[in-house]
Structure 1
Amino acid sequence: MIRIFFWLFMVLIIIPSDTKGQSGQLNIPRVDLMPNQPAPYNMLHWSRVAQQYDSFVYDVQKQGQYLPLVSVGMSGINYPSNKTIRLHSYVGSPDGSEAINVLPSLVGASLNGINKSSQFGQDWVTMSQDFFNKANGENIYLNNAGANSGSDWWYDVMPNLFFYQLFDLYPDINEEAKGQFKIIADRFISSVKTMGGSDTPWKVPNMNYRAWSFKNMQGNALGVKEPEASGAYAWILYHAYKASGDKAYLEGAEWAIEFLNNYPTNPSYELQLPYGTAVAAKMNAELGTTYNIPKMVNWSFDKGALRNWGTIVGTWGGLHVSGLVGEANDGGDDYAFQLNGVQQAAALVPMVRYDKRFSKAIGKWVLNLANATRLFYPGYLPASLQDASDWSALYDPNQVIGYEALRQKLNGLSPVSTGDALKGGWAGTNLSLYSSSSIGYLGAIVETTNVEKILKLDLLKTDFFHDTAYPTYLLYNPYSTVQTVLLDIGPAAKDLYDALTETFVAKNVTGRTSVLIPGDQALQLVLAPSNALVRYDHNLMLLDDVVVDYRQTNQTYTKPVRIKALAASTLIVQVNDSIDIYITAEDPDGGIILYAWNASGGFIKGSTDRVRWLSPAVEGKYIIKATVKDDHGNQVSDSIEMMVVNRINLAPQIMDIQKSALYTARQGVILFTCVATDPNLDTLRYSWTSTGGVFNNPGNASVQWTAPDLEGIYTITVKTTDQGNLSDQITFSVLVKDFKEVGGNLIAYYPFNNSAMDVSGHQLHGEASGTVFVPDRTGKALAACYFNGGSQHIIVQNNVLLNNQNAISASCWFNAVKLGDKESFLLSHGSWQNRWKLSLTTDKRLRWTINTLNGITDLDAPEILATDKFYQVTACYDGQTMTLYLNGSLVAYKSLTGSIRTTTLPLLMGQMLPDVVEYNFKGVIDEVKLFDYALTPAAALTLYTESTTALKSRFPLSEFTLKLSPNPTSTFLTIQYPADLGTTAHLFITNMTGQSVFEKHLPFSRIAYERFDIHDYPAGIYIIGCQSEQKIYLAKFIKL
């Protein structure tokens, strides 16, 4: 039997002309510009699309062009014993995996009933753990296995948020995941504290960065900043608190969201802001905080100044596209991205359960978004308005892989399903897995009803880590008249509570039931047990102790005072000492707060939010309790436990690890020395362990390590412990490899002698575009190439010789005029997306990137580079190991296997990709050489030392030699001046990079011999010269 229940407003409200909608609802002005009924209307069954998408892309047996789209790696970088997922980011892209693709694909499929821990004979969930980068010490999820943080917060933070979502769906998948969950929270709280977050006293951190290096705990403030990341930070830390109960994470969440709440302008950049908006509403509802949700909600829809990012409104080519998210320029050149609209819905739809004032607006927006999202998918625009329709028609008949983007206008057409991959040379199509992998979020939320255009939105599906809740749905009626919607309540009797009118619209109903929704209004329906006990607790209404309404108004209440933090700078103090104790409290009603303190021992001085505790003379544990009270009589207490000791033991610190070598051959020996200090001057114990090899005296500070008989990169850990059992430890790696000279060829050589000609004999000549030939590091005119960091570059057309797959070495000299403002490219053959590149990172380090059939890997040099200084770099890959040499010395290495990918793109110097000039290098490049084999350390050193002897090319050394003694020397050097030097002469000393070390003018009357003190010179090879107008005398000397 169908029961019909009517719900109507008891009071007619006159609505001012500048507002509209039902009582208690807040408008979102951007949504007001959207149609109530988008047209044409064609709502896809998004849950079915998500399920079919998952079955398609995770089918390792698929055959055809660019298929299969997934493969299984047999060993991970971070978990070598685990398999890994190799999922393409685009159809026709390399199969290197991205976390922003893989993790949402697992979450989205799981939300739609697919068990990704056991599907097609694979545990995809466990495989995805290789994105947790523990091998390189980052200890967070990043977009690639082996990646480094610090370049872009979106790629560094969101993988951790997606992992948290996955963990909520699979909390018992394995112990490793539980450990990762806590480590991530610890890393995030540490970074927030390093940014300035504090509770002694309370201080909001500065999070206005582009990114954050979690490994180095340093911010990157260069380029376009992403302050919206504070929202994603808060989302992660608040849910870490909810899962663990650790108040430290709660403090971190509040610091992050307070930064966002206080931010003066719209920080919208990608998709971290909506997650911040959602968690802010959740914290208001659950904690009683007072964050400005209307401001944040409107930020999530309005255009932000950082990149005109916002929610799109209007029609393109006669089609309603309102609700999509992307570059909302409102000037005829908008650019919507599939991923962003879907993820914004995943964040903001559950938000309305915590702040119901936006229910109607969000319901209307999702109707527009869910309808327009079909335009990203093949078959919903004519083939002429798509750029991969032929592939889709042949291989994807269900049309479940969508495009990355929808462009308002492209080549005179509108709209066009497209993307950035083809233009950037990243893939063979713009069909985007990283975009479509999130469609499961939309599929889990959106369900159609018996009334076209009235959707039933599930408010719990993407509300991760939510407290116990009854099924809750949002229904928006876009019509101007009352509509009857049928709902399947199920066999158990339910009472239907509408949180928007705060009334029961039906009681004790089962089966198919209908409700009436007035025109242009919404219903937030909770399916609660029949006859449940009603209880109110301040802002909460509960049925059988389960919250059904977070903003109830049926019963008046005052908001209670709350304690945000009770803290001391340390919880351990010495006897008869003193320490400040801080309490941070707030009254949401803005009233006066009174403080009361007491301690179980010692004495408290003061009675405000900061007091001084004088510790007692007896060791033990003592409780300090603080009580805060508002002027309504509401009060709350908190306490901390202090430990009083006779002596505070401080942990030792490892200052350095001295190594006799960075690498060794099999069964070779390296001497390691751990340099550690102890603040208490305790005697330290040492413990050395390794993943291979043996130590002669593993209990000493200095040990000899004998390498194993198997090549590889081995991990060494040393732990030092003091007499109070406090410890410090450090882990580092050692390369064990028998470097052997192998046959090979020079592919190309560009000495830049006033041209970009290749002098190797292969005629792979470069074409200089705007570059200027300048003196090289020796001063030789027109012998190096200057790039201005704008559009200047050198291009070498692609050739089969450039596409060797087994091994490669690339070397050059460079002198950067500018560093750190962006990643800049020295050499690039298809960049990281297609083949390889050599670049300078935003933290001023060299980065060597190789894209093989087994993955994409970055290798960073540890040294911080300086501007206006010449360096020589050699980067190698031999099919097993990546190596990086700076000035002839091996400075970094990493394991990587697989054939190097080929590309049709040209080789570029000073630029990333054709038509991509945002990362162009500014400075001088010289002596570019490419080899089809990997140079050994000895060969790399020879390459460097031979090129440094180019200094001699300026001078006729064979004719005039300066006499020196002794040589080599470690103390003093004596020079015999030539008798025929002339009346005017100049003395100079340079190191082997061409840097001036010493110079002076030689007077006409000079002594025959002169002694120079070189005690302070670094060990190495130097060139000394005496130059007159007619002659120059040179010699090399060695400083020991």
Structure 2
Amino acid sequence: MRSFLTLLPLAVVLVSCTADKGPDLDPAVLGIPVPQTKIVRINAMPYIPDTYQMLDWRRKAIDYDRYVFDWNRNDEVGALIWEDKNSRPDNPGFGLYTTVKDSRQGPSSPTSHEAINTMAAVLSGGLVGIDKTSQDGRNYPKMLQNYFASANNWKIMTNGAFGYAKDWWYNVLPNLLYFGVCDVFPGVDGADDIQKTISEQFKAADEAMGSSYDYSYFDFGNMTGVAGGLPKQQDAAGGHGYLLLEAYRKFGDETYLEHAKNAIGVLNSQSESRFYEILLPFGIYAAAYLNAACGTDYALTKMMDWTFNGCSSSSGRKGWGVIVGKWGDYDVFGLQGSITDGGGYAFTMNSFEMAWPLVPMVKYQPQYANMIGIWMLNNASATRLFYPGCIDDDHQFAPSLKNLTNNNIAYEGLRYSDRYGVFDVCPIAEGDGPTWTSKNGIETMFSLYSTSPVGVFGSIITKTDVEGIIRLDCNVTDFYADRPYPVNMYYNPFKTPQTVTYDTEHLTYGNLKYASGKYDLFDIVTRNYLVQGASGPVQISLSARSAHILVEIPAGTSLMQDENARIYADGHIIAW
């Protein structure tokens, strides 16, 4: 094991990050807007897609929760959930089918289920206001502790089924999901101890890897990186850094912060995109926060380009990035997946989950507000195409089954061309389920693991009273951050200023609570007030083709700034 203190001396600065109110604050200088930075691939997306449609994503998430967590469903699909008393008899868990009618799973195979599915479903429900700790007499966050791997000495949350231990992102994502669940549902018995153990394991892993994450996966039992089998997944450094940052913000242990910096420093030092599945965007968030709060200088635009342009190396997951273009008559700009597989293969899960880290990122780096606004408007519009009820019959593999789940469960993905060679259309909504085993039928194209993160969109996205303008909640997936005031981004895609209604209804959960009363709206992009002394919904003016990140602070709060031009409201940094 190598000494952490000898590694990456330039990238890692072992100093505390603080958001405390300092002693030498001056009145804030207002009215100096933040110059916007362009991301090449996002800049190729339309301000608003020609085929724009926006679903009520909160309703989709609530309906999905009601459908999937129905233990007594007796229709053609049947119950999609079962109890698992075998994995950990001391703490019974539950399983969800990975896809509809997946022959590998069910009550007769009670331990065959995946954390990336069940944890995402619990998190989604919590994000849109469903109390999963007391739903139909069950405490689902407690049941998720079933995935904690102590028997093999890994001592992290593992994915569970199908032997994915040798695939790095499958090992990291369940821990990110679990930390999110624990922020939404604090105080669940045993959770803090598990989180602390996970944090220590990730710290030890970073200590062991030091300046190189050049592995296919990390063996947490033997504390060693392993190369072979799958391509190396160096972007896992981003997932490790993100989790360690959350651990620091939860527990206050500065050694977690030091190791978060090391992991993100390793990510930053890579020479090319190694985007593999979903972890690189989490690394971008961690880098953005550390730059703002700790004075690091990670190359954010480079990392954004790595994500959106994708991996171009034949030694990595070549072509994995963000799709730009129109497939047939459909705009598919912003969807995440393979840019090259059969002309392109967008995945439902990934298109949902990329919003989790990248939307709150703009609070800390508002120079990317316009780009994230454009991408989210395109992505959220196109993501509807995964649902069988939202794409025409000619462009889905199983139109005769489109009502099977009442439009609650999406196809696993959207392809440029049919991988099965049955249909000569572009695009086509379908899934890989029938290829996993000969016993799987066409129904397995409808994917629970893909749809379970729908609550990410459901909590972040709200339609406004102007078609084409959406509100993005920048707090709701910013887990363990200081969030005393509502922060929402509005992006106006039109070439003229628009007036929309600012709504004071905000999602809350756990420790995420806001005071009510008269308020001021401060825009951290223009560094100025949009509204002062308002009460209830109010009309606001949005500049043409621009994003506004609005902080709702108590009316009359004095704004101060420090020597780094960070703006404070009542001791809390509201503009970095």
Instruction: List per-residue Cα deviations over 1:445-502 (Å, max 9, x = no partner).
Output: 0000011110000000110111133101111111101110111247611111010110
**Aligned pair in 2 of structure 1 residues 541, 423: CA closer, same or farther (>3 Å)?**
same
**Aligned pair in 2 of structure 1 residues 444, 107: CA closer, same or farther (>3 Å)?**
same
**Aligned pair in 2 of structure 1 residues 23, 549: CA closer, same or farther (>3 Å)?**
closer
1:235 lines up with 2:236 in the alignment: no
Counterpart of 2:120 in structure 1 is: 104
* Residue 124 of structure 1, CA deviation: 1.2
- Of structures 1 and 2, the one scoring higher in RCO (CA 8 A, sep 6+) is 2
Counterpart of 1:327 in structure 2 is: 338
* Residue 23 of structure 1, CA deviation: 5.9
* Residue 384 of structure 1, CA deviation: 3.2
- Whether the 8 Å CA contact 1:208–1:221 is kept in 2: the answer is yes
Question: Which residue among 435, 439, 463 is the counterpart of 2:478?
Answer: 463
Instruction: List per-residue Cα deviations over 1:98-139 (Å, max 9, x = no partner).
Output: 001011111111000001111122111111111111123221
Instruction: List per-residue Cα deviations over 1:76-103 (Å, max 9, x = no partner).
Output: 42x3122211110000112321001011
Counterpart of 1:406 in structure 2 is: 414
TM-score by length of 2: 0.87
Question: Which residue among 397, 404, 409 is the counterpart of 1:387?
Answer: 397
- Which residue type is aligned with residue 268 of structure 2? N
Counterpart of 2:457 in structure 1 is: 442
Counterpart of 1:356 in structure 2 is: 366
Counterpart of 2:145 in structure 1 is: 129
Tell me how far apart the structure 2 counterparts of residues 69 and 146 of structure 1 sit (CA, whole Å): 18
1:513 lines up with 2:538 in the alignment: yes
Tell me how far apart the structure 2 counterparts of residues 431 and 140 of structure 1 sit (CA, whole Å): 29
**Aligned pair in 2 of structure 1 residues 406, 147: CA closer, same or farther (>3 Å)?**
closer
* Residue 391 of structure 1, CA deviation: 3.2
- Whether the 8 Å CA contact 1:135–1:146 is kept in 2: the answer is no
Tell me how far apart the structure 2 counterparts of residues 531 and 372 of structure 1 sit (CA, whole Å): 41
Tell me how far apart the structure 2 counterparts of residues 473 and 314 of structure 1 sit (CA, whole Å): 28
Residue ranges of structure 1 left out of the alignment (5+ in a row): 1-8, 12-21, 198-204, 551-1040
- Which residue type is aligned with residue 276 of structure 2? Y
Tell me how far apart the structure 2 counterparts of residues 408 and 437 of structure 1 sit (CA, whole Å): 23
Tell me how far apart the structure 1 counterparts of residues 34 and 225 of structure 2 sit (CA, whole Å): 45
Question: Which residue among 250, 259, 264 is the counterpart of 2:271?
Answer: 264
- Whether the 8 Å CA contact 2:34–2:527 is kept in 1: the answer is no
Matches within 5 A, 1:496-645: 496-537=521-562, 538-550=564-576
Counterpart of 2:21 in structure 1 is: none
Aligned-partner SS, 2:533:
strand
Tell me how far apart the structure 2 counterparts of residues 28 and 148 of structure 1 sit (CA, whole Å): 34
Aligned-partner SS, 1:379:
helix
- Whether the 8 Å CA contact 2:92–2:143 is kept in 1: the answer is yes
- Which residue type is aligned with residue 124 of structure 1? Y
1:302 lines up with 2:281 in the alignment: no
Tell me how far apart the structure 1 counterparts of residues 391 and 251 of structure 2 sit (CA, whole Å): 48
Counterpart of 1:171 in structure 2 is: 186
- Whether the 8 Å CA contact 1:317–1:415 is kept in 2: the answer is yes
**Aligned pair in 2 of structure 1 residues 173, 147: CA closer, same or farther (>3 Å)?**
farther
Counterpart of 1:432 in structure 2 is: 447
- Whether the 8 Å CA contact 2:415–2:429 is kept in 1: the answer is yes
- Whether the 8 Å CA contact 1:91–1:427 is kept in 2: the answer is no
Matches within 5 A, 1:899-938: none
- Which residue type is aligned with residue 172 of structure 2? V
Tell me how far apart the structure 2 counterparts of residues 388 and 80 of structure 1 sit (CA, whole Å): 40
Which shows bigger deviation, 494-503 or 296-305? Answer: 296-305
Counterpart of 1:285 in structure 2 is: 292
- Which residue type is aligned with residue 378 of structure 1? P
- Whether the 8 Å CA contact 2:342–2:415 is kept in 1: the answer is no
Residue ranges of structure 2 left out of the alignment (5+ in a row): 1-29, 107-111, 506-515
**Aligned pair in 2 of structure 1 residues 116, 489: CA closer, same or farther (>3 Å)?**
closer
Instruction: List per-residue Cα deviations over 1:840-873 (Å, max 9, x = no partner).
Output: xxxxxxxxxxxxxxxxxxxxxxxxxxxxxxxxxx
Counterpart of 1:373 in structure 2 is: 383
Aligned-partner SS, 1:101:
helix
Tell me how far apart the structure 2 counterparts of residues 382 and 455 of structure 1 sit (CA, whole Å): 25
TM-score by length of 1: 0.49
* Residue 511 of structure 1, CA deviation: 1.6
Tell me how far apart the structure 2 counterparts of residues 10 and 545 of structure 1 sit (CA, whole Å): 21
* Residue 147 of structure 1, CA deviation: 5.9
**Aligned pair in 2 of structure 1 residues 489, 438: CA closer, same or farther (>3 Å)?**
closer
Tell me how far apart the structure 2 counterparts of residues 443 and 416 of structure 1 sit (CA, whole Å): 25
Tell me how far apart the structure 1 counterparts of residues 327 and 269 of structure 2 sit (CA, whole Å): 36
Aligned-partner SS, 1:54:
helix
Counterpart of 1:217 in structure 2 is: 223
Counterpart of 1:871 in structure 2 is: none
Counterpart of 1:85 in structure 2 is: 94
1:452 lines up with 2:467 in the alignment: yes
Tell me how far apart the structure 1 counterparts of residues 463 and 256 of structure 2 sit (CA, whole Å): 39
Tell me how far apart the structure 2 counterparts of residues 297 and 368 of structure 1 sit (CA, whole Å): 17
Which has a greater percent of strand?
1
* Residue 170 of structure 1, CA deviation: 1.7
The Cα RMSD (Å) is 1.8
Tell me how far apart the structure 2 counterparts of residues 228 and 447 of structure 1 sit (CA, whole Å): 31
Tell me how far apart the structure 2 counterparts of residues 259 and 532 of structure 1 sit (CA, whole Å): 41
Tell me how far apart the structure 1 counterparts of residues 565 and 216 of structure 2 sit (CA, whole Å): 38
**Aligned pair in 2 of structure 1 residues 125, 389: CA closer, same or farther (>3 Å)?**
farther
Instruction: List per-residue Cα deviations over 1:390-441 (Å, max 9, x = no partner).
Output: 3341x422x1100111001123211111111112327432100000000100
Aligned-partner SS, 1:182:
helix
- Whether the 8 Å CA contact 1:107–1:166 is kept in 2: the answer is yes
- Which residue type is aligned with residue 130 of structure 2? I
Matches within 5 A, 1:577-976: none
Tell me how far apart the structure 1 counterparts of residues 400 and 86 of structure 2 sit (CA, whole Å): 35
Percent of residue pairs bearing the same amino acid type: 35
Instruction: List per-residue Cα deviations over 1:48-95 (Å, max 9, x = no partner).
Output: 00010011011011113342111112x242x31222111100001123
1:208 lines up with 2:214 in the alignment: yes
- Whether the 8 Å CA contact 2:141–2:182 is kept in 1: the answer is no
Aligned-partner SS, 2:354:
helix
- Whether the 8 Å CA contact 1:133–1:147 is kept in 2: the answer is no
* Residue 146 of structure 1, CA deviation: 10
* Residue 296 of structure 1, CA deviation: 1.1
Tell me how far apart the structure 1 counterparts of residues 161 and 34 of structure 2 sit (CA, whole Å): 51
Which has a greater percent of helix?
2
Question: Which residue among 44, 51, 72 is the counterpart of 1:61?
Answer: 72
Counterpart of 1:829 in structure 2 is: none
- Number of residue pairs aligned between Structure 1 and Structure 2: 517
Counterpart of 1:842 in structure 2 is: none
Question: Which residue among 124, 134, 157 is the counterpart of 1:141?
Answer: 157
Tell me how far apart the structure 2 counterparts of residues 420 and 299 of structure 1 sit (CA, whole Å): 26
* Residue 372 of structure 1, CA deviation: 0.3
